[in-house]
Structure 1
Amino acid sequence: MCFSETSKIWNKIVCKVSCLLHEEPILSDFYTNSILKHKNLFHSLSYILANKLSTSMISEKKMQSIFNDIYLNNPSILNIVVEDMKAVLKKDPVVTDYFTPLLYFKGFHALESYRLSHYLWSMKKTSFSIYLQSRISAVFSVDIHPAACIGSGVMLDHATGIVIGEGVIIEDDVSIFHSVTLGGTGKNSSKNRHPTIRRGVIIGAGAKILGNIEVGLGAKIGAGSIVLKNVPAYVTVVGVPAKIINELDSKKYSSKEKSNVSYINSFQYGDGI
């Protein structure tokens, strides 16, 4: 992700919000404080997330400062944030601009808050990362363990009720709808008790994927399904328990994509604060 692309996206957001400022004067303070008073996308995002996650015990100003430091020192996180925004714009038919997920979508907010908690976890700041997990769960109704590994270009659509366990690995370009659980079966207490979700997977609302299993590249999981066994690449599975109902067209995935699967179990965000 080049800096110029991020700047172009930010300029589009500022331009759009500046127009809306005149159309919806009742939201002028909201637009100004969230967008217009900030110098770039990541200062704006730090403010938005800190505003939502802060409490009387940890102030908005203090939390915003911590988030800004993480973004400043870790450009890889910034790249991922932009890819997540682009994924929402690409995958959600009701979204036609970048400012909508930035300002309004709790799935996007929960995911980017998780990324901050994951960074802190990787830097051995476990107490604060778990504190953030608790706040994310309370504010957004999304519970993602900070040790989980999630790639870029991910969309959490609607998001309410999503649970993602400690050992979960999610690769790039995955879409997850509300009330999805990626967890254990309760029969295994080891760290290898959670699923791996490969690139391009779509998980329908209410689906439960449980255990140390793999959902293959480009697979689709039907709404309400319970998945307890490995799912091959490029299939659709539906039901309780989930069964294959058809194979997808794997030709739309180039050979380069197939060979460039993002194995992110060693995923790190870079240097410390």
Structure 2
Amino acid sequence: MSQNNDFLRGLLPTAVDSTRETNVSSQPDTIWQHIVEETTVEAQREPILASFLHATILNHTSLASSLSFHLASKLGSPAAPAILLREVIEQAIAEDDSILSAARDDIKAFRQRDSACHACATPLLYYKGFHALQAHRIAHWLWHQGRVPMALFFQNRISIAFGIDIHPAAKVGSGIMFDHGTGIVVGETASIGNNVSIMHSVTLGGTGKEAGDRHPKVADGVLISAGAKILGNIHIGEGAQVAAGSVVLKDVAAHTIVAGVPAKEIGKPCCAEPALSMDHSIKP
């Protein structure tokens, strides 16, 4: 067995891990069941990837175990090996039930909204937008535990590994889809509600060197298209839509579309939650 395979095997769940996870809940995890079934088929279909698929999913007994292994293997570095980061990730998941619940909701979001996603296993295995979201949830937990250096370390590793920079203090809801994800930046005092879809190269940033509450607040059901820049302590109302390439400098009313530089209201979305429809067209 190669040195790399030895390393992967060292991160696989132990009998103790399996017992702990089994005792957490007696309810079946249907998302995890789908992931295992889909991955089993893929391992048979593509034997070259069988080792990867077994190490990442099929050798695990739960979503928690698989997720902690996969994130740690991507975020590990010579300064902080994956096996140590996995301990941190497992601790966060064990102490905060919302982390795994949000991960399931995010998987559903990708499966339902991304026309290129045909299986529940796909985001977990391959989508860096999903990986960055889950790793951010760990960093956010660390931040609120007072473990600021470790939270910032996670932020740095997320940025390097996935090209997505989210401050650990930023608040992110569940049912989130970072489609493609490349170049997304989320500032310290920003917040993102539930069931939000954000495309690549989106910035939720500040407007200068001011301190305090200085970043955007994005409500539930919002769709933010590629390249949009939303700057300052402003509110993007529920079910709003921000067109591609827009620069938003003031509040956006609920259930409206804004576009342009600077962005102006130009119409209404096609539905109450455009993040779910993923319809980026503009209908004045």
The two structures have a TM-score, normalised by structure 2, of 0.85
Structure 2 residue 167 is matched with structure 1 residue 145: yes
Selected match of 1:120 from 137, 142, 149: 142
Cα offset, 1:4, TM superposition: 6.7
- For 1:188-199, what aligned pairs fall within 5 Å after superposition? 189-199=210-220
Task: Identify the residue that residue 113 of structure 2 maps to in structure 1.
Answer: 91
Distance 1:14 1:197 in 2: 34
| Contact 1:149–1:168 under 8 Å retained in 2 | yes
Deviates more, 1:21-30 or 1:73-82: 73-82
- For 1:162-241, what aligned pairs fall within 5 Å after superposition? 162-186=184-208, 189-241=210-262
Distance 2:171 2:228 in 1: 19
Distance 2:193 2:26 in 1: 26
Task: Provide runs of 4+ in structure 1 moved above 3 Å.
Answer: 2-6
Give the aligned residue type for 1:232.
Answer: A
Task: Write out per-residue CA displacement over residues 46-81 of structure 1, whole angstroms, 9 at most, x where no aligned residue.
Answer: 011000000111111111121112112221211111
Distance 2:222 2:28 in 1: 26
| Contact 2:99–2:134 under 8 Å retained in 1 | no
Cα offset, 1:3, TM superposition: 5.3
Task: Write out per-residue CA displacement over residues 220-261 of structure 1, whole angstroms, 9 at most, x where no aligned residue.
Answer: 0000000001100001111001011102366x47xxxxxxxx
Selected match of 2:88 from 60, 66, 76: 66
Distance 1:82 1:219 in 2: 24
Q: Note the residue ranges of structure 1 that are not aligned, 5 or more in a row.
A: 254-273
Deviates more, 1:225-234 or 1:14-23: 14-23
Give SS of 1:244's match.
Answer: strand
Give the aligned residue type for 1:111.
Answer: L
Deviates more, 1:5-14 or 1:57-66: 5-14
Structure 2 residue 56 is matched with structure 1 residue 28: no
Give SS of 2:181's match.
Answer: coil
Distance 1:249 1:18 in 2: 39
Give the aligned residue type for 1:14.
Answer: V
Task: Identify the residue that residue 266 of structure 1 maps to in structure 2.
Answer: none
Task: Identify the residue that residue 103 of structure 1 maps to in structure 2.
Answer: 125
Q: Note the residue ranges of structure 2 that are not aligned, 5 or more in a row.
A: 1-23, 274-284
Give SS of 1:237's match.
Answer: strand
Task: Identify the residue that residue 277 of structure 2 maps to in structure 1.
Answer: none
| Contact 1:161–1:178 under 8 Å retained in 2 | yes
Distance 1:215 1:177 in 2: 16
Distance 1:103 1:69 in 2: 22
Give the aligned residue type for 2:37.
Answer: C
Distance 2:269 2:127 in 1: 30
